Amino acid sequence: MLRPLAALSAIAAATLLSGCQTLNAPAKVDVAEPTAALPIAQPAPVVNNGAIFQAAQYRPLFEDHRARLVGDTLTVQIVEKVSASQKSTSSIDKSGKLSAGVTALPFVSANSFGRASAAGTSSNTFEGKGSTENTNDFSGTITATVTGVLPNGHLLVAGEKQIGVNHNVDVLRFSGQVDPRAIQPGNTVASALIANVRIEHRGRGAQAESQGIGWLARFFLNVLPI
């Protein structure tokens, strides 16, 4: 009898722990995987034609080094600043007035209408205001690796940086699509000139865990109707 109860208790505990992890799961960023790549091995030519130009490994002679092939590195200057604000104001003011009176009727004395009058007024006023504002500022530097080259020459880049101090790990991940014409001297490019940018900056360890809401509080936040 004790063994089935112990098994049920273990299953319940495992289910509870998995549910706690789901309740406090961080938001996911779709960073391109993998974040590193090795150069494609080129077979040795059967006949060496002695030419300077080699289509598989072409690099201009009179140009600073810049990323061109899979496995090359590229320094990305992350400068992302997004700010959005919206404001709305509306007001409605409506008023009306009505008055009526009786001065004479056939076969009725005129003095009988001293108080035969009616009057009415109505008013409606509405005023509403709303505003929202969001600001995001991110800056940094990361060296990414060319993971692929598209047919039009654009480079698919991805990179990851991890820094561990004591019991905490700081992780920075980046991916995007680079136009070679946007690469500046020194083999650098600004993140604002990169398409399909994905940036993830998270921490691992006790310090990062302290930033999340406890599983019990998050549970009640999910089930409460307000």
Mean pLDDT per 10-residue interval, the chain, length 226 residues: 58 55 61 70 56 60 77 89 83 79 64 64 81 83 90 91 84 91 91 90 73 68 66
Cβ neighbours for 196, distance < 8 A, ≥ 6 positions apart: 175, 176, 177
Distance from chain centroid for Cα 8 = 41
The pLDDT assigned to 203 comes to 80
The pLDDT assigned to 70 comes to 87
DSSP reduced 3-state for 74: strand
Strands (E), the chain: 73-101, 117-149, 155-165, 168-178, 188-190, 195-205
Residue with tokens 């509870």: 16
CA nearest to 187, candidates 91, 59, 17, 95: 59
Query: DSSP letter at 58?
Result: -
pTM of this structure: 0.58
Q: Exposed/middle/buried for 130, CB within 10 Å: 0-12, 13-18, 19+?
A: exposed
Amino acid at 202: R
